A and B are shown apart, each in its own frame.
Chain A
Amino acid sequence: MATADTNPKPTMRLDLKVMGPILALVVLVVIGALMNGNFLSAGNITNVLSRSAFIGIIAVGMTFVITAGGLDLSVGSMAAFIAGLMILVMNGLLPVMGVGWPLVFVGMLTAIVAGTAAGFINGFLITNMRIEAFIVTLGTMGIYRSLVTWLADGGTLSLDFGMRAIIRPIYFDGILGISWPIIVFALVAILGEVVMRRGAFGRHAAAVGSNDQVARYSSVNVNRVRMMTYVGLGVLVGIATIMYVPRLGSASSSTGVLWELEAIAAVIIGGTMLKGGFGRVWGTVIGVLILSLIGNILNLTDGVSPYLNGAVQGVIIILAVILQRDKKAEG
Chain B
Amino acid sequence: MRTVFKTSYDADINYFRHGAQAAWYMLLLVLALCLPFLMGTFWIGEMTNMLIWAIAGMGLMILVGQTGQASLGHAAFLAIGCYANVLLQEKLGVPFLLSFPLAGVIAGLAGALIAMPMTKLHGIYLAIGTLAISILTDDLIVIAEPLTNGVVGLFAPTIDIFGLQFDRYATPDRFYWLVLFVAVVIILVYRNILRSPLGRAFAAVRDSEVSAQAMGVNVARTKALSFGISTAITGLAGALMGHFAGIFNNETFNIIISIQLLLMIVIGGLGSIHGAFFGAIVVALLPQAIAISRDLVSGFVGGGTVAIPGLESAIFGALLIGFILFEPMGIYGRWLKIRTYFELFPFYRKDMFRRQKSYLKTERMR
Same complex = no
**Chain A interface residues (CB < 8 Å from chain B):** none
